[in-house]
Amino acid sequence: MKKQFLVCALLALAMTASAQWKPVGDKLKTPWTEKVDPNNVLPEYPRPQMERTAWVNLNGLWDYAIKPCGEVEPVAFDGNILVPFAIESSLSGVQKEVGEKNELWYKRTFTVPSAWKNKDVLLNFGAVDWKADVYVNDILIGSHKGGFTPFSFNITPYLAGKSTHKLVVRVWDPSDKGYQPRGKQTSKPEGIWYTPVTGIWQTVWIEPVASVHVTSIKAIPNIDNGTLAVTVGASCACPSNIVEVKLLDKGQVVATAKGLAGKELRLGVKNPTLWDPTNPYLYDMKVSIAKDGKVQDEVKSYTAFRKISKKRDANGILRMQLNNKNLFHYGPLDQGWWPDGLYTAPTDEALAFDVVKTKEWGYNMIRKHVKVEPARWYYHCDKLGMLVWQDMPSGDMGNQWAPHQYNAGTDKKRSAESIANYDQEWKEIMDLCVSNPSVVVWVPFNEAWGQFDTERVAEWTAAYDPSRLVNPASGGNHRPTGDILDLHNYPGPAMFLFDAERVNVLGEYGGIGLALEDHLWWNKRNWGYIQFKNSDEVTAEYVKYANELKSFIDRGFSAAVYTQTTDVEGEVNGVMTYDRKVIKMNEATLRKTNQEVIKSLSE
């Protein structure tokens, strides 16, 4: 009888939640909009490279309020918001802008499972844009600045004596009125600039851990000597705490290593299976930490063996190599925006969809453009075999752009606070992606958007992660630093500079526009570098540019990025419409053409 009552109560609660939420507004929706369940939002564990079995997802309906900056916690809230969708999005159920003069408040309650008794409890946020202050049971427990990276708090000391706990988050995001990295967000969307994103936009969850537990895993392969360097971070780097890493191949342990937290452990594998886009082979890892011989914490992870490097070809041209073989990197500029969720894909299936389609279209690379994705997106790229160039989201803009010569243009004169924030956020972004085999190139700046201290930033990036290549300023103000010279040219390919000391790439071109009725974001002017009337015309123009691109490969280009994966708001130059319902080109022709481009650079 009690069980029946509990089931009825849960069903009633679910029906209430559904009644309190629905997508709002009359903008485009994706095929996954209707699959969003307010009682079970993004239920997948959000951190595949450090996964624990016990956890509680805190996504769902929270209370929200928009209040002027500087006020205390509201007594009354404005309504419900569906976390983790930004308040400006349709899927939030609110679709309101906040602005730099206001703060966004969130509130909910949660309980800790009784099975977690005598465990510490971690409160985890996938990402909150931009400054978050977190309160548990009316105690300010911590803050975080950075709109793209995860952060956690050990909330155990603040849970004593209560069964139900109050969680409040206060967020401030000045969008384009501040110096912080913001990517394409603007308070006045038009052209290539999009709707602001404020607040929680990735999963929030709690999980139980021992007081001694794993906090990070960094895994860097070396295929030349068959080793894997693994550094495990822990909550306490005490001499009595021993970290153990096990590497598994199809369930069988093939290498182990033990050591102290924070120390690089080296595991050896003879003739490891290499990861590449045609064979994205992943090894499982188990990472544990023991105190006085007793295991305190164990997490699941994965890794891969692959190498990104550069080498001169027979003609003396520097080429990018994957696993010591020349490989032309070819893929779309991927903004990662959604008409219903803005920064947040409505479901994990949707999150993977763009990667799946990019693979089907015959590309082998994605340039993630001035945005950072949730950890699961990089997992999908790892699993599907997609190379990733990771941009730093731009911000603090306003300098002069001069991309057609070296050492031209101006650096942005940033404040000391802006510089320190950039450095911290870039480090956190690199930490997020450092163990993902798919990520092969770091891109600190795009088109002189806030570009500053280029040599220092590029050199720091290379020193912090020597295992990848650094593209210092994609299409930006070019400085003699880093591994790559990256040109932008629209609409067709062009090579107006060449650097014999660096890998030369075409970091953006294309932008072939096709506006399709019933798949447009707004009725204002829709924008593309050039416009066509139908799919056949767009496909023909794409093939024409690809053939032009092939002529530049022999002359030195080692990669190219086509603009872009999807339409985004007012931009209509995607291979797909913004709602992901129409592919604008002939897919068979697209795939054949892309494969021919990639094969144009021989090993």
Give me the count of residues in the chain: 603
DSSP one-letter string for 322-375? ETTEE--EEEEEE---BTTTBTS-SSHHHHHHHHHHHHHTT--EEEE-S----H
DSSP one-letter string for 512-575? EE---TTS-S-SS--B-SEE-SSHHHHHHHHHHHHHHHHHHHTTTEEEEEEE-SB-BTTB---S
Mean pLDDT computed over 469-485: 98
DSSP one-letter string for 382-448? HHHT-EEEEEPPP-S------TTSBT-S------HHHHHHHHHHHHHHHHHHTT-TTEEEEE-EETT
Q: Average pLDDT, whole number, for the chain?
A: 95
Q: Which tokens sit at 331?
A: 């893929």
pLDDT above 70: residue 256: yes
pTM for the predicted model, two decimal places: 0.96
Residue 415, number of CB atoms within 10 A of its CB = 10
pLDDT above 90: residue 17: no
Q: What is the 3-state secondary structure (H, E, C) of 237-252?
A: CCCCEEEEEEEEECCE
Give φ, ψ of 565 to 5 degrees.
-65, -55
Q: What local confidence, expressed as pLDDT, does residue 2 receive?
A: 45
pLDDT tens-digit series, residues 355-399? 999 999 999 999 999 999 999 999 999 999 999 999 999 999 999
pLDDT tens-digit series, residues 224-249? 999 999 999 999 878 889 999 999 99
Helix 375-384 with 348-360: angle, nearest 10 deg? 40
Mean pLDDT computed over 196-215: 97
Residue 181, number of CB atoms within 10 A of its CB = 27
pLDDT above 80: residue 3: no
Gap between the Cα atoms of 429 and 149, Å rounded: 6
Q: What is the largest CA-CA distance in the chain?
A: 80
Q: What local confidence, expressed as pLDDT, does residue 16 receive?
A: 54
pLDDT tens-digit series, residues 579-600? 999 999 999 999 999 999 999 9
Query: How many alpha carbons lie under 13 Å from residue 528 in its C-beta half-sphere?
Result: 24
Q: Which tokens sit at 339?
A: 């008409």
The beta strand positions in 155-238, using DSSP E, are: 164-172, 199-200, 204-209, 214-222, 227-234
Gap between the Cα atoms of 81 and 93, Å rounded: 6
Confidence of residue 6 (pLDDT cuts 50, 70, 90): very low
pLDDT above 80: residue 118: yes
pLDDT tens-digit series, residues 310-341? 999 999 999 999 999 999 999 999 999 999 99
Which single residue is written with the structure tokens 């590029």? 458
Helices (H) and strands (E) in the chain, counts: 7, 34
**Nearest to residue 388, comparing CAs of 379, 397, 396?**
379
Gap between the Cα atoms of 170 and 102, Å rounded: 10
Q: What local confidence, expressed as pLDDT, does residue 78 receive?
A: 97
Confidence of residue 8 (pLDDT cuts 50, 70, 90): very low
